[in-house]
Structure 1
Amino acid sequence: MLRHRHAAARTVGAVLIGITAVVGCRVVGIDAVTPVPQLLSFLPWLALPTVLGLLVALAARCRVLAGWAAVLLAVTAWYSRPYGPASTPAEGRPVAAPLRVLAANVEFGGATHELLRVIRRERPDLVFVTECDPACARTLSAAYPHRAQVAGEGSTGSLILSAHPLTSGPALPSVMGMPGAVARVAGRDVRLRLAHPMPPLPGQVAVWKRELGLLRDDAARHAHGGPLLVAGDFNATQDHAAFRAVLDAGALHDAARLAGAFRTPSWPQGAGPLPPYAQIDHVLVGGDDLSVRGARFLDVPRTDHRALLVELDLHAHR
């Protein structure tokens, strides 16, 4: 029996060391190196093995391990809370126009026609589409009078569609397309940026950090230039320091967090028996003239991402 307790304690200790390393990076505010960025996507789910470790430690009568697991569980719960401001400064002023914004990843263009059906049903004013190849762009562009895009095959193509007049802007220098544009809505200029940095794959973590840094710097440059929308597949959750830096740099607000859809997972959809576990698709709003009325994650067949539909109000000048 004693030998079994020692074996259980060693196993629990090894598991807690790994979880502590990941949670410690979240506490310190760094993404570190592989496998930490990948494991940070699971942060709230790390509570499950921590609870199991706590129970095993208690059964093995190991007070040190039990105390360690209890502290680790409390820290994980603390950092699983919503991140960022709980409201925008635009609330309470007259509404110039409502805006419906849709962000969707069509997985190498495979879900193009399924997304088109969603667009016809939901009628968004602005659509941000990632992994949209030329055939996808031709199909979806027929539904809107205005577009801005980075043409590319596979995952590199990106498309912004608009029911409002649109002026294309420069794309960010990234591996996958991140176009920019300005939409003219109710006499106001709304600055748009599609987000699609590289995922934090082993060997690509430095590229992922750099491209999230490009989004951060771009948001900071336009932080005081009027309404701002940054939307798409960020390949990052709020537990990644590089994503939190994007929120912090330009006073951006996470629409899903404001609408009560905090931590609603958007990826990976259709990955066997497992449900989605990470919210990596985001619509971020900035400026003093946009407020969030609601957000819904929509299932779209033939893609590994859920789409995000956000309802906004564009407010009049002060």
Structure 2
Amino acid sequence: MRSEVRRRLTDVALLVVLLGLVAVGALRWVDTTAYPVVVLQTAAPFVAIGLLLLTVLTAALRRWWVLLPVGVALVVAATQVAPAFVSHASPDATRDLTVMSSNLRVGRAQPTQLMDAVRFHAVDVLVLTEVTPSALEGLRREGADSYFPQRAGEAEVDGYAGTMVLSRYPLREVSADLGGSPNRQPEVVVTVDGVDLRVQTAHPAAPIPGQTAEWRAGLRALQAWKERQTETGPILLVGDFNSSSAHPGFRAVADGLDDAQRTTGSGWVRTWPYAGSRLPPFVQLDHVLSRGLTVIDSGQVAMNGTDHAAVWGSYALPDAP
């Protein structure tokens, strides 16, 4: 009798855990500005890991009838996770361009490390968010002015709002600010070997309490910009999106674009949080999105002083018109 009660209690406990994981996983499809939901959506990778562990535990306990719904949930989660581990890049193509995005954490990022990463990966276009005048001065001392002779955007003493684009190639500012965010989001055109690349920087408001509606409006502004790009030329959307592929708003922005990390099958990419947090990095907030370019390679670079890892993507250009 006691063993039967224990088995039933075990079944109930397993099902409660399953329902909890499924509930959190289902939030992926809830487009809302409710702060608890926005935060829980970033836990999507842990749902897949939790379901895998639950499957192993259920099988080890030989609770076969519970294993069926657990297994079904795991398969559904796997269909969401697996594409991020499958590469659709063209690694044998000729590299024409490398683009990097780095959030400087209000100018605190270590400039020597950043410029070392820039040189190591032969970065051609660098998008900086949360850039301050002092951060620019630090980069200048490390040779940024000679490496990147072209620049657009503004540094801000406040820091959070400052966004700049540094380029080795001719650069023309189209707009000083997209709007829809308290942070500057300039739009530029970079000309590489006769090909014009339209680059929109991204830094919507962070989804902190009391600011989630503003955060969602910022993603809508980026989505609207993408939808206005009806010409056939290549485009790039680059920066700190303060959102991941688990957020419906970000997926609407990224729809039809190639996320460099996802296209190269990089798997569970984590760009935040790093320095200054007790949490280990667990979510990708920084992205390099493109259309009309061939993705060759991608990667991430963590550095001292900033809570964001930099992300980069390498591309082959289309033929010049």
TM category (shorter chain) comes to: 0.7 to 0.9
Q: Which string of whole-angstrom CA distances, capped at 9 and with x for unpartnered residues, describes residues 117-148 of structure 1? A: 32344341100111112222344365222111
Structure 2 residue identity aligned to 1:253: D
Equivalent-residue separation in structure 1 for 2:198 and 2:104 (angstroms):
23
Equivalent-residue separation in structure 1 for 2:89 and 2:51 (angstroms):
36
- Whether 1:122 aligns to 2:121 is yes
Structure 2 residue identity aligned to 1:214: A
State the match for 2:31 in structure 1.
Answer: 31
Structure 1 residues 4, 108: closer, same or farther in 2, change over 3 A? farther
Equivalent-residue separation in structure 2 for 1:214 and 1:133 (angstroms):
24
- Whether 1:44 aligns to 2:41 is no
Shift of the alpha carbon at 1:214?
A: 0.9
State the match for 1:104 in structure 2.
Answer: 102
Structure 2 residue identity aligned to 1:140: L
Equivalent-residue separation in structure 1 for 2:31 and 2:65 (angstroms):
28
1:213 to 194, 211, 220: 220
Structure 1 residues 154, 14: closer, same or farther in 2, change over 3 A? farther
Structure 1 residue identity aligned to 2:246: D
Equivalent-residue separation in structure 1 for 2:189 and 2:236 (angstroms):
10
Alignment map for 1:1-318 (pairs within 5 Å)? 1=2, 4-5=6-7, 7-26=9-28, 29-32=29-32, 33-54=34-55, 65-82=66-83, 98-113=96-111, 114-140=113-139, 142-143=144-145, 144-152=148-156, 153-170=158-175, 171-173=177-179, 174-248=181-255, 251-270=256-275, 275-287=280-292, 290-317=293-320
How many residue pairs align between the two structures? 308
Give the structure-2-normalised TM-score.
0.83
Equivalent residues of 1:43, 1:76 under 8 A apart: no
Structure 2 residue identity aligned to 1:211: G
* Percent identity for Structure 1 against Structure 2: 33
Give the structure-1-normalised TM-score.
0.84
Equivalent residues of 1:150, 1:178 under 8 A apart: no
Report the more deviating stretch, 122-131 or 271-280.
271-280
Equivalent residues of 1:5, 1:60 under 8 A apart: no
SS at match of 1:315: coil
Structure 1 residue identity aligned to 2:196: D
Structure 1 residues 164, 52: closer, same or farther in 2, change over 3 A? closer
Shift of the alpha carbon at 1:223?
A: 4.2
Equivalent-residue separation in structure 2 for 1:223 and 1:87 (angstroms):
24
Report the more deviating stretch, 302-311 or 132-141.
132-141
SS at match of 2:114: helix
Structure 2 residue identity aligned to 1:219: K
Report the more deviating stretch, 55-64 or 123-132.
55-64
Equivalent-residue separation in structure 1 for 2:68 and 2:209 (angstroms):
33
Q: Which string of whole-angstrom CA distances, capped at 9 and with x for unpartnered residues, describes residues 208-261 of structure 1? A: 22111111111111142411111111122222211111122xx31111122232
Pairwise CA RMSD of aligned residues? Answer: 3.0
Structure 1 residues 52, 301: closer, same or farther in 2, change over 3 A? same
Structure 1 residue ranges without an equivalent (≥5): none
